[in-house]
Amino acid sequence: MSGVEARLTAAHAEVKAEIARTDTKTGLLLAFVGAVLAGAWTVARDLPLNLPACVAGGVGMALLIGAAGLLLRSVRPNLRGG
């Protein structure tokens, strides 16, 4: 194996390790966001809330759902190869 092939193999292994770490971190963050969403929904559905509280809660939930969507997009496989 030439020096170039050895460096390419090492770089490939490093990239695969980085992808695995990113997937692990994203999985943990998704679990956290899901737990926060579930907890907020469980608490808020039984409380009598006024309009400003409903608006603030709705905006917060929308932001959390958006964050979960971005996290899911970050681990989506690239099927086009480009």
What is residue 1's predicted lDDT score, i.e. its pLDDT? 66
CA 18, 19, 20, 25 dihedral sign is: positive
Tell me which long-range contacts 74-82 makes (C-beta under 8 A, separation of at least 24). 74/22, 74/26, 75/22, 75/23, 75/26, 75/27
Q: How many domains does the chain have?
A: 1
pTM over 0.85: no
CB 61 within 8 A of CB 37: yes
Residue 8, domain extent: 3-74
| Residue 40 placed within a domain | yes
| Residue 80 placed within a domain | no
Rounded CA separation 9/33 (Å): 36
| Residue 49 placed within a domain | yes
| Residue 81 placed within a domain | no
For residue 82, name the pLDDT band (cuts at 50, 70, 90).
low
